């Protein structure tokens, strides 16, 4: 599966990419929101991992912009964020995200968590929540 990571922290991008590629996924990366929106339109990923704390354009605005594109409207967007206060999950979901994973990620469970969202898109797949 093709997964787009929109994340400004190079160490986080590296770790997420390493874990996903090890499981056989194809990963493309973007370091900013605008770059991620452009790349998503170009590569049409099966899933988007989105940091919320991005410079220039935050993840909420990015999720909203991605949902405006008819081609990307059904693509799961999973927020991978350090925002863990009361109401943050709801705000992320209201912005158009499909799911939410808190940082720091757990390398032992990260890919399995992500694959739940991919499997839900497959024919016969269930709701990951």
Domain ranges of the chain: 2-121
Q: Widest CA span of the chain, in angstroms?
A: 39
Whole-number pLDDT of residue 127:
45
Class of domain 2-121: alpha beta
* Residue 106 or 120, more confident: 106
Q: What is the DSSP letter of 44?
A: -
Q: How many CB atoms lie within 10 A of CB 61?
A: 16
Q: For the segment 25-78, what is each residue's pLDDT rounded down to a tens digit?
A: 999 999 999 999 999 999 999 999 999 999 989 999 999 999 999 999 999 999
């Amino acid at each position: 599966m093709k997964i787009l990571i929109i994340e400004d922290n190079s160490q986080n991008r590296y770790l997420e990419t390493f874990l996903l590629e090890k499981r056989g996924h194809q990963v493309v990366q973007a370091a900013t929101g605008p770059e991620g929106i452009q790349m998503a339109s170009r590569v049409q990923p099966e899933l988007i991992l989105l940091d919320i704390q991005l410079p220039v354009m935050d993840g909420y605005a990015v999720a909203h912009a991605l949902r405006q594109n008819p081609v990307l409207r059904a693509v799961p967007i999973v927020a991978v964020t350090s925002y863990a206060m009361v109401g943050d999950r709801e705000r992320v979901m209201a912005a158009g995200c499909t799911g939410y994973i808190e940082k720091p990620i757990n390398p032992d469970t990260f890919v399995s968590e992500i694959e739940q969202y991919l499997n839900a898109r497959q024919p016969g797949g269930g709701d990951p929540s």
